[in-house]
Structure 1
Amino acid sequence: MVIGMASKRDRVLERAFQEHVVQIGQSHGGFVSKFKPNKVRAMKVRVAPGHEMTYVQRLSSVRVEVYIYFGKTRYKESLKAFEALFKHKSAIEADFGAELWWDDRETRNACRVRLDREGFDLHDRSCWDDYATWMVEHMDRLHQALLPYLE
């Protein structure tokens, strides 16, 4: 590996990893089979107005989340939708089986309920199966836990 390589974006590898996640999702079936690769480091499926279930990949981490965004000037609507989910935090986390990060930072104009996993290395294809499978399984669990509360 070239020194500094891990800090550089590689759109070809990013796309290949997305395709790998999608392939595992299609094998898994159900909701997670709806995702498609794209040109950015996140794949999204809309599940309700202003709510997108999202796979996110970075050079050294991956995450699954529901991304709540109603528009740049409509943060209050995003926050209201976030708070509607947050009222059910205990039940959602119990159904999901783990504690989640509830992020309502106004500086981002969006809210998120997410689970991150560190240690990913986009340039190390030997870890892809493990991380892609983790993403698919946790996306399915997150979607199932949130589904009763989505507006």
Structure 2
Amino acid sequence: MPIYHVNQRELKVVAETTFGAEGIMERKDLQRMLRGQISVLDERLMVIAEEFGEWVDSSRRIDLLCLDADANLVVVELKRTEDGGHMELQALRYAAMVSAMTFEQLVDTNARYRNKASPDTDAAKASIMEFLSWDEVYEDQFAQDTRIILAAADFSKELTTAVMWLIDRDIDIRCIRMKPYRMPDGTVLLDVQQLIPLPEATAFQTQIGVKKQAERQNRTVRHELRLKFWEALLEVAKSKCDVHSNRKPTSDGWLSGGINRAGFNLTYVTRRTDSHVELWIAHGTGQTARTKAAFNALAAQKAAIEADFGASLDWQELPQGEGSRIRYVVDGGYKSPPELWPTIHDAMVNAMVRLDNAMRQRVAQLSY
């Protein structure tokens, strides 16, 4: 969007220019100006250091290391280019490196930034405490997050796509565009706009973020429960059935084992409130007809198979799918109280032993 100069008669477009055309250097000018007036990027920032690079085995430097009013560290990366280069990758590295900083290290860093020759840590600490409105040091509140601010003349589609992806995964990163304009009299104006996330959408995005964070937390809990569920089941199974003896527990909802014929698997499946053991038949993409023929060949022996198994089975041809299954359902799943897991695991392993005995020879002899 252009900027217009308003006079009494008309609106006149103010010509865009570039930092390069105006002789504005990245570090010498732009960084210096923002360092002196960091509120241009965010009103709640305090500059802790410039060109911060106290890394082990690294010569990389953060343009501006800041602190926000919530005691979070903020990495500010600047570019005068029109595409932002690869600044998001640099900033991620810097954020990871600086995330382990302690409050004491922050004070020491700021003291040397204020006066390299004669650092005054007491004065630096007092200044930081005043900025945070702290009456004492709250270590548990310091650097709970590390934020990233990218400031450039403009950003490439690749960079903004990466930033949106990172925001979707709860990384606090934003893009601020600084576009210079030249008035007819030679005056240079600087238009500063936060592009990502849009300020007016922040509240909505926060709500979405909270929802997604809750979803991720639920997913993490689910994965952890299933991993423990399979660990305990495999411990029970190892002395009774060797079908899954070479398998390791996973966070997936299933655990497959072979039956010595391609296209057939004996599988444990667990869900929230029930579990099952099954013979899964799938010959792969484009082989649906062959898969259904194998299922039907076994279905022709249904009475004998169920007699050997000792109970009725659930026969699912799944006509619209590429696979078919023959299963036995057990009450109780990974969300059942852990004290019930031993009973569930015993039932699953015993059912797997019986399913293996009923199916293995028949699968080996199938002709279809």
TM bracket (short chain): 0.7 to 0.9
340, 346, 351: which one aligns with 1:127:
340
**1:115 has 2:328 as partner:** yes
In structure 1, how many angstroms separate the alpha carbons of the residues matched to 2:281 and 2:240? 25
Q: 1:35 to 1:9 in 2, by over 3 A?
A: same
Q: Say which structure, 1 or 2, has more relative contact order (CA 8 Å, 6+ apart).
A: 1
**Greater helix content:** 1
Name the structure 2 match of 1:44: 256
Per-residue displacement from partner, 1:77-109 (whole Å, max 9, x unpaired)? 111111121121111000000010110012221
8 Å CA contact retained: 1:27, 1:33: no
TM-score of the pair, normalised by structure 1: 0.87
Name the structure 2 match of 1:15: 227
Name the structure 2 match of 1:3: none
Q: Which amino acid aligns with 1:120?
A: G
8 Å CA contact retained: 2:274, 2:333: yes
> SS state of the match for residue 272, structure 2?
coil
8 Å CA contact retained: 1:96, 1:141: yes
16, 27, 31: which one aligns with 2:239:
27
Name the structure 1 match of 2:19: none
TM-score of the pair, normalised by structure 2: 0.38
8 Å CA contact retained: 2:270, 2:276: yes
Gaps of 5+ in 1: 1-5
How many residues get paired? 147
* Cα RMSD (Å): 2.2
Per-residue displacement from partner, 1:10-49 (whole Å, max 9, x unpaired)? 1011001001110000122443545432241100012111
Runs of 4+ in 1 over 4 A off after TM superposition: 6-9
Per-residue displacement from partner, 1:54-98 (whole Å, max 9, x unpaired)? 000011110000000011321111111111211211110000000
Larger radius of gyration: 2
Q: Which amino acid aligns with 2:287?
A: R
